[in-house]
Structure 1
Amino acid sequence: MGLFSFIKNAGAKVFGYKTDAEKAAEAAAVSAAGEAARKAAEAAAALKIRQTILDLELKVEDLKVSIDDDVATVTGKAYDTTEKEKIILVVGNSEGIATVDDRMEVEHELGEATFHTVEKGDTLSKIAKAVYGDAMKYPVIFEANKPMLKHPDKIYPGQVLRIPALEK
């Protein structure tokens, strides 16, 4: 459990929001109705994120996702540590989310992976070389991030990836 930080505007679009500049231009017009619209957008985004997690068939019971501003809170019972980490990444890699407040329980504790934020020019091979000392270990990272990653070449700056320890 804990707080995980992400790059707010680097992830998948779930809010239907505008850019930060567009939001700032509209901020002057925010009223009680504007606040209600923001809350409705947050609730809709939370439902979309929850549905994405379910569509990915990640193993979790009683999953709940709520959003307040740029903080997403996740509760439920994940099958294991790997599933929990994947759920955190689905939530955190959504555009508009800067922090994930993990309040999930875990049924089966496993060793935790580390997280890596993709930088411009990164590839899974480059990350594997830096982390494991062997660029050819990139499939380990790819497999650890499935089903969120569909192809090893489809990563983007700001995306956060799971980096598991190598089995001995």
Structure 2
Amino acid sequence: MKAKYQSVLELGQQLEIKEGDVKEENGVLHVSGIAKNQYEKNLLWDEIKKIGGDTPSDIMADIRVADTTIYATHTVEKGETLGKIAKHYYGNAMKYTAIFDANTDILKNPDVIHPGQILTIPNL
């Protein structure tokens, strides 16, 4: 079972899931841990569903979230815009205003962001 869900386990390591635990019992893989934020939890669930379908019966995952006050954090890379970042996290570029509003302590203009800035991606 671990081999089937190896990509989930590897993603958990990449995301530095805290208090991670993996065990197999009666043909079911039990995984648990604490993701930094909801976005990282969603990434893990997306990977689980990619392998096992929408309601996999051979894996039980208990992934908690350390910080529920935000959706994610994002480090700006060269060439990004708030619209592109909003599209990535929310699927809608027009939600860039939510990201701007959550970061007015470091952003003064929604059209001006710089590589290396760490932005809060708010819950919607």
**TM-score greater than 0.5 by the shorter chain:** no
Q: Identify which of structures 1 and 2 has the higher relative contact order when contacts are C-alpha pairs closer than 8 Å and 6+ apart.
A: 1
Length-normalised TM-score, structure 1: 0.35
Length-normalised TM-score, structure 2: 0.44
